[in-house]
Structure 1
């Protein structure tokens, strides 16, 4: 890993429905709650930004490097420079998301 590499920004849109029938009322707080644990994934190589997904036409996840939007294939290639497998990271995100939803509701 080179110190000159920039982190890949991942914008993940969280469906309000994953928080239950009243998820739209809680999704913004959940995104704030889940941001720190998500940013532990991938260390300095990945910068996660969780936002509500109110517009279903927008993709669930986007990849950005500086101001340039990347495809999933480009993001995968870039993360290989950090010795990170994007597919494995995305598997972890599903597990982490489920755990954080449970934890979020326990704290309320």
Structure 2
């Protein structure tokens, strides 16, 4: 799939997922996780991981060719490429949890 046809996934990571002092580590974690995610589901998506300082913003945001998609549009996109968005998000959450656990084990 060409880069312009891939879905871009912006994930805002809560500092609290790294424990009570997570705000001290969230920037470093996102930078490390970003590097790990460059190999995850690359046939479908590009990833952007960033701290979630503003809780009014969605945790996950999708776009294609720099056009923001609603969740319904993202669901339709995944259906068109023969994938299930819920399974995609679950695999991502599992990967993120694994990265968090690895990060915390090294801290």
Paired position in structure 2 for 1:80: 79
Mean Cα deviation higher: 46-55 or 95-104 = 95-104
Paired position in structure 2 for 1:40: 39
How far, CA to CA, are the matches of 1:79 and 1:73 in structure 2? 10
Q: CA RMSD in A?
A: 1.8
Q: CA deviation at 1:6?
A: 1.2
CA displacement, residues 32-68 of structure 1 (integer Å, 9 cap, x when unaligned): 1112333333223101100000011111111111221
DSSP-derived class of the 1:13 partner? strand
Contact 2:4 2:64 survives alignment (8 Å): no
Q: Does 1:102 align with 2:101?
A: yes
Aligned length: 107
Which runs of structure 1 show a deviation greater than 4 angstroms over 4 or more consecutive aligned residues?
2-5
Q: Does 1:24 align with 2:51?
A: no
How far, CA to CA, are the matches of 2:97 and 2:3 in structure 1? 34
How far, CA to CA, are the matches of 1:68 and 1:33 in structure 2? 26
Contact 1:8 1:47 survives alignment (8 Å): yes
Q: Does 1:12 align with 2:11?
A: yes
Structure 1 residue runs of 5 or longer lacking an equivalent are none
How far, CA to CA, are the matches of 1:99 and 1:31 in structure 2? 13
Calculate the TM-score normalised by the size of structure 1: 0.86
Structure 2 residue runs of 5 or longer lacking an equivalent are none
